Amino acid sequence: MSTSKASTQQQTDYERIEKAIHFINDTFKTQPSLEAIADAVHVSPYHFQRMFTQWAGVSPKKFMQYLSLSHAKDLLKKRMTLQDAAYETGLSGAGRLHDLFVRIEGMTPGEFKNGGADLAINYCFAESPFGKVIVASTPKGVCHLFFEEDKHKALSDLKARFPNASYSQITDKFQQDALFIFQEDGKKLDQIKLHLVGSPFQIKVWESLLKIPMGALSTYGDIAQQIGSPQSARAVGTAIGNNPVAFLIPCHRVIQRSGKFGGYMWGQDKKSAIIGWEAAKTEAANVDALEIGANYA
């Protein structure tokens, strides 16, 4: 077996899917065929169709539609989705994120003084639908969640944030509850607790992000309006870029006014993957709800 072939076989399914999404983003205007996308990741069309559908819950062709700019613009034009309506009226259950979430606490001045001196941080490594993650927690809640394939770099990045803290590789309940967010079964997601350090402006922006339902998108300008600072779109972007907990605070749901997805700390391809995955899950949930309603009509 050649070295290149062995290397290809060692790729994880998500690495192949991420590469496929990169290919789709680059060739979207040509509407590549299933065969072309499968060839780009060096697997058979049959295997790729099965692998991708198992990961996303929809076919590659359907998923490609979710990643298009026209789909993103359509979501913006139709802000009053079922999830939006449920959130605005205080209903639970319409959005799988918002019937569970998180009260964000600002840190007291001494808690992260001197780079986290006297602070005990537990951390663990885990798999997600979008690759490996490191998640860390203090005695008050989750303080850090980053996507990172390299464990050494992941731990180094965490320690750079809190250089004087003490660290233990222990999986605790805060981390376990947080990792449930990547599962379809969200029974324990309402138990997630976050322990974040940030300026009052950053905390206000992060709180606003929690109001964006799963499957919907917002813009930097919209967030600026919602927090009462309509001229602060650029500062909003900076605060979003400093989000210390990937996915738990859904900064991936904020895109440019033009409809382009824009930047993301962990790469534009990963942002596209997450947006498409959430859109697919949301549509599947809506279809199930419609079918249940029809059965009872």
Catalytic positions, written as ranges = 251
Q: How far apart are the first and last CA of the chain?
A: 59
Contact 76, 217 (CB under 8 A): yes
Strand partners, 134: 125, 146
Query: Angle 45-56/13-27 helices, nearest 10 degrees?
Result: 100
- The three-point CA angle 62-66-68 to 5° equals 115
Residue 259: left (phi > 0), alpha (psi -120 to 50), or beta? left
| Separation CA 224–CA 49 (nearest Å) | 41
